[in-house]
Every structure is written in C-alpha cells, then in structure tokens.
Amino acid sequence: MHKRSRAVDRSKSLDASLTGADGSGWFPRRSFLKMAASGIAGGIFSGSLPAFAAKLIQMPFENGGRKLVRFPQKGEMILLRVRPPLLETPFEVFDQGVFTPNDQFFVRWHLSVIPNSIDVDTFRLRVDGHVRTPIEFKLKEILHRPDPVELAAVNQCSGNSRGFSSPRVPGGEWGNGAMGNALWTGVTLKSLLDRVGVLPGAVQVRFRGLDFGETPETPVFMKSLAIDHAMDGEVMVAYGMNGAQFPLLNGFPLRLIVPGWYSTYWVKMLSHIEVLDKPDESYWMHTAYLIPDTPGATMAPDAKGVRMVPINRMVPRSVITNLRNNSTLRHGVPTEVRGIAFGGDTGVKNVAFSADGGTSWQNAALGKDYGHYSFRRWKTSFVPKQPGTYKLMVNATNSNNLSQPASAGWNPGGFMRNVVEQVTVRTA
C-alpha cells in the first residue's frame, strides 16, 4: 500500500510533535524558532560563503578533479562551484542509511546572491495572486498550524550524473551524488491555498525564493506547478528535514517539497507563492529545464526540431553503495552487495541484481518501506566462484512497471540519467 504524507499525531505536544527521521525524539518547533533567532541557523555567514578545502579527489569522468570542502553547517562535501554553491554528497554517505544526513545533503543554487542570514521575526511567506484574500504568513504561524504533516521523499537534481553524459553537455558536472532522501516536516501547500481562497480560473501556482542574480537582467528564479498538482495534498511547505531545521544552504527557513518531481521545483528559502490565472511563461519554465517530449526524454545529439517540454516527474534509479569499481573480492566466499533504489514518482516494486553483466538476474531483498517517494534499501549475496572479473549490475522497477534502461539516453541538458548502473570487481 502506498504511503503518502501523513498527519502528525495530535496527542503529542504541539511544540514537540514531529517524529525524527530515526524514530527517536521529536521535532522541537519552539526550539526551532529560538535557535533560529539566536543565529544558529539564521545568521552564520558574513559576506560571501566560505569554503574550507581539505583534499582532492577524482571523479570517474573527464575533468573530474574535485575538492572536498566544508561549508558552515555542512560536513565534508564535493565542491563543484562556490558561487552559487554546488555541493555534491560523497557517494559513501549513501551506504550509511536510507536517510541522507542534513550536513551532507547535496546543495544546488541557481542564482549567486543568497541571504547569509534570516531574521525569523520579520520573515514572511506571501501568498497572493488570483486569490480571494492575500496573506503574509509569519514563520510562527506556519510552525504552529494545527495540521502538520511529514513525508519521506527523495530530492534529486535534474542533472544528477551529468558528468557521465556522452557527448558531454554544459552544466554542473555532477557524479551520482546530487540527490538525497529526507523525512520532511511541514504543512501541505493545499492548506495554505485553502486559507487564501483560490479563485475560479486559476491554472498554475508559481513559487519564488529569496535568492537573486548579480545583475537586474538575470531572470528571477521561479517555478510553477499546475493548480491541480499544487492542490493534491502531497506538495508541502516544509520547515524541517530529518527531525531538525534546514541548514541555511538547503533552504532555511522554508522549502517547497514536490514529491516525485525533480529538485528544480523544490524552491529554497521560499518567500512568495503566487496563484496564476494564465500559464507561466517566465524563463525558468519556458526556456530553461526543458526535456525532449520523447520516451525516456532522449534524443540523438544531432536531432533537430524535437519538441521540448518542462522537466517534471522522476524516473526509477538504483545503485550499489558498498562496492566500488576495481574492488577486490575473495573467490569462493559469499559477498554481500547492497544499495539504494527509488521508484521516481512512485514506489519500488523490485530490484534485480546481476553478477554476470546482465546475462542472468535475481531479485534482491528489499528493506523497510518508508513510503513510495523514499529511498529503499536493498541487498543480496553472490559467490564469485572463479578468479577473474565480475560485472555487477542493478536495475529497479517501480510500481508502474517502469524499469531502468540498459543504455544511457541523451539530451542537451544532461537531465534524467537513470541507466542501469554497473560496478566491476575482481577476485583475488
């Protein structure tokens, strides 16, 4: 049975009612406000965002040299860009559990001027446009609404794994770490829209954060959802992740959560929600983040006249997390292989594993189901019976019977890569 966003147990204290991602403790909404006001989350930077370099690593593609860095409120991350910040989660983090730690959750901003402090007393979330009663919500009002919800969901950059694109394409050259899974806490977008009263004739809802560009000519970063999607009861305005407040770089104090859709719609530092009575033709919807309107969003690199549409739903993926290319195993000894999978815009039906390059497959054992938008752990075992090289592969099938393709698709944005992953290992 699919697990959707659920209401928080109202028998618990209002100020401490949201379960943490690990099942222990409670999300302290009163402490959240106190901490933010004291500057722990709201005013940690002065001037430009600092990055503290540690060591160099090599990603497995051309021009893959990277620094491991630490930004404020973040652990060790892979640096793609300082301004605006692009920080990738080190891949070994995904082997540690189903939920990605807040301090190593990937970071992707589009515009370079980001507030380095948030005054939680003066912060407002304005909801207006084609509505009956525009409202500016105080942060306290949202945190103390009587209908909080929680939802486990994967947040994945549209260009996750772009570094592997061939032919290569422009954009952030991510490895496989521009994704993360969290337990999000907040309120439904529908509850806020119901409060302001959406008028007949509304067609879309547009979202904007507090970031902006260096020059007036830079298009404001805004994303839109169809009105029916915005009102479906699953899209959230979140104030917490994994039982804690957001790191500033992950969108403090509020972030839009669009489960099953790519991260470009998950607007950070959300400050403005506008109901529209006509389609949004702004730059970030009409020109940027477009994909081919073809199966798998793929096209030939030299194709012309392909119809393009805004990127939208995610597709299934699975990865091996405990073994790397060129790992050495002992032949004749059972070896556990494990990883994570997600179904994209629905749940994981099964995960298939191959130890012979795809000639034969076996179903892996699935771990606990945290909901159909969440990562799901899987594991299996195989015995390398002979010395030599083994090509391990993994393929997720979602609840809609959509599986990963055997070969990588291509599009000019480097978006939506979900090819069957493989890891080559050797026996000693």
pLDDT digits (tens, 9 = 90+) for 189-248: 999 999 999 999 999 999 999 999 999 999 999 999 999 999 999 999 999 999 999 999
Q: Write down the number of H helices and E strands in the chain.
A: 5, 29
Q: Which residues in the chain are classed under CATH 3.90.420.10?
A: 6-41+114-165+177-288
What span, in angstroms and rounded, lies between the C-alpha atoms of 125 and 272?
6
Model confidence at 49, pLDDT cuts 50, 70, 90, reads low
Give the model confidence (pLDDT) of 275-286 as tens digits.
Answer: 999 999 999 999
Q: Which residues in the chain are classed under CATH 2.60.40.650?
A: 317-427
How does DSSP classify residue 37? H
- Report the CATH number of the 6-41+114-165+177-288 domain: 3.90.420.10
| pTM for this entry | 0.91
Report the percent of the chain where pLDDT is more than 90.
86
| Residue 263, both tokens | 């991260």
At residue 2, the pLDDT reads: 41
At residue 43, the pLDDT reads: 45
What span, in angstroms and rounded, lies between the C-alpha atoms of 253 and 62?
37
% helix, strand, coil for the chain, step of 5? 10, 35, 55
At residue 16, the pLDDT reads: 28
Evaluate if residue 26 carries a pLDDT over 50.
no
Residues 324-332, mean pLDDT to the nearest whole number: 94
At residue 44, the pLDDT reads: 46
Closest CA to 73 of 221, 244, 239, 267: 244
Give the model confidence (pLDDT) of 162-189 as tens digits.
Answer: 999 999 999 999 999 999 999 999 999 9
> Which string of b and e fits 112-143 if b means at least 16 CB within 10 Å?
bebbeebebeebebebebbbeeebebebeebb
What span, in angstroms and rounded, lies between the C-alpha atoms of 296 and 34?
46
Evaluate if residue 50 carries a pLDDT over 80.
no
Model confidence at 397, pLDDT cuts 50, 70, 90, reads very high
Model confidence at 19, pLDDT cuts 50, 70, 90, reads very low
At residue 428, the pLDDT reads: 84
CATH fold of the domain at 317-427: Immunoglobulin-like (2.60.40)
At residue 139, the pLDDT reads: 97
Within 10 A of 219 (CB to CB), how many other CB atoms are there?
A: 14
Evaluate if residue 105 carries a pLDDT over 70.
yes
Radius of gyration of the chain (CA): 22
- HSE-CB at 88 with a 13 A cutoff on CA atoms is 26
Report the percent of the chain where pLDDT is more than 70.
87
**CA angle at residue 137 from 133 to 142, to 5 degrees?**
125
Contact 365, 377 (CB under 8 A): no
Integer angstrom CA distances of residue 309 from 10, 62, 187, 233: 42, 29, 29, 25
Give the model confidence (pLDDT) of 106-158 as tens digits.
Answer: 999 999 999 999 999 999 999 999 999 999 999 999 999 999 999 999 999 99
What span, in angstroms and rounded, lies between the C-alpha atoms of 294 and 305?
12
Q: What is the mean pLDDT of the chain?
A: 90
At residue 55, the pLDDT reads: 87
